[in-house]
Amino acid sequence: MTNYELATLGGGCFWCVEAVYLRIDGVTAAVSGYAGGHTPNPDYESICGGATGHAEVVQITFDPAVASYRQILDLFWHAHDPTTLNRQGNDVGTQYRSVIFTHSDEQAEIARASRDAAQAEFSKPIVTEITPIPEFYPAEVYHQDYYSRSPHNPYCAVVITPKLKKLGLV
């Protein structure tokens, strides 16, 4: 029997993060959603203004025998810019912040060590939050597996496809 683990990460638009992780061996699921805010049961429209405090995140289910939590995080640092506060490219607002929501004390320790190691690769300070997971709310169905369903959408073609190519995932 496989003992799957969860990782919950925010690195800008959840479509981007989800598209990256769904291509990784050992990842069995990636669910776009919202976490880190103060409003129960948020929806996309309510989080877009930033008033709910939620970040767009992806909750990743993975097999640690195939992909370790550290490997999941090592990819995270390369899949977005962890040095920009509350933005990724043209996506601006607290909902696009860089964040790692941890599911255990062990994950928090690994996340901090991973961040500290990754810092050597960046000239500016990493601003990624590392905090225990609050409530996770799955996003609306139309946000799930968005890139796979809409690869020719202009946002996908201009933002996600080049990111996947840069990471060697296409």
In contact, 5 and 70? CB cutoff 8 Å:
no
Instruction: Give Cβ neighbours of residue 83 (< 8 Å, ≥ 6 apart).
Output: 122, 124, 125, 126, 127
Domain total for the chain?
A: 1
- The CATH number given to whatever domain includes residue 10 is 3.30.1060.10
Domain that includes residue 14, residue range: 5-166
pLDDT the model gives residue 162: 93
pLDDT the model gives residue 78: 96
- The reported pTM is 0.96
CA distance 143 to 155: 13
| Residue ranges of the chain whose pLDDT lies below 70 | 1
Active site residue ranges:
13
